[in-house]
Amino acid sequence: MAGHSHWSSIKHKKALIDNKRGKLWSKLSKAVIVAAKMGGGDPDHNLRLRYAIDDAKAGNMPNDTISRAIKKGTGELEGGNLEEVNYEGYGAGGAAILCEILTDNRNRTAPEVRKIFELNGGKLGATGCVAWMFERKGMFLVSGGTEEQIMDAALEAGADDVRPQGESFEVTCDPSRFEAVSKALSASFKVEGSQIARIAKNLVDLDAESTGKVLKLIETLDDHDDVQNVATNLNVPAGAMA
């Protein structure tokens, strides 16, 4: 929808966490642990781990902290008993909400997340109730070239779409093409940010009151230690997440 930026929403939510470094490092550490647990401790043979390490370094996490997280994931140290789970539901006005969770105690996390939904005008739903509304995409925010130049490089590397976002450009791709697109863009342009995220296939518009409640719900969910990412199909008006 015109005026909507998936990237502006992501940047806003990351900034909320970045202001609390300890909480950010906890989330980044969990991502490293799970990546190492699922694919091994060698980032050269585990792309998910490589991306998790890159994110951790971008968050200024010390190398020894990253190393300990990897060892927890591979079982060399205790503390790697984490599982991935998605919680799904609705915010005010029926906006779809999907939370990606990393937890060591699902019985603790589930009621806490349910309470956050309820206190912010939402409702936690059954598994699968909104997941079908989203797709996983690689996303890049790029500058340093014309739209034609960036589009040529991105599409040749396998990207799906390029769209203007202010003075920069938002590039999306299938997750399987993330590394190839990343290399192609980094070779010639400035990549201001990148990540693999869930984005809505279609967006919904809500009135100002409901939009405010949904944004508050997202902010509160993001502040929870076990919540790694939150996706919504809400069309966020320009400036609402500044």
Q: What is the pLDDT of residues 71-126, one digit of tens each?
A: 999 999 988 889 999 999 999 999 999 999 999 999 999 999 999 999 999 999 99
Least confident interval from 15-24, 146-155, 195-204: 15-24
More confident residue, 184 or 22: 184
Q: Domain residues of the chain, as ranges?
A: 6-74
- Give 4's pLDDT tier (boundaries 50, 70, 90): very low
Residue 65 CA to residue 63 CA, distance in Å, equals: 5
Average pLDDT over residues 166-189: 92
pLDDT of 80: 80
pLDDT surpasses 70 at 39:
yes
pLDDT of 42: 93
pLDDT surpasses 80 at 15:
no
- Predicted confidence (pLDDT) per residue in 105-118, tens digit: 999 999 999 999 99
Level-2 CATH architecture, domain 6-74: Orthogonal Bundle (1.10)
pLDDT of 1: 31
Average pLDDT over residues 153-172: 91
**DSSP letter string, the chain:** -TT--HHHHHHHHHHHHHTSHHHHHHHHHHHHHHHHHHH-S-TTS-HHHHHHHHHHHHTT--HHHHHHHHHHHHTSSS----EEEEEEEE-GGG-EEEEEEEES-HHHHHHHHHHHHHHTT-EE--TTTTGGGEEEEEEEEEESS-HHHHHHHHHHTTEEEEEEETTEEEEEE-GGGHHHHHHHHHHHSEEEEEEEEEEESS-B---HHHHHHHHHHHHHHHTSTTEEEEEE-B-PPTTTT-
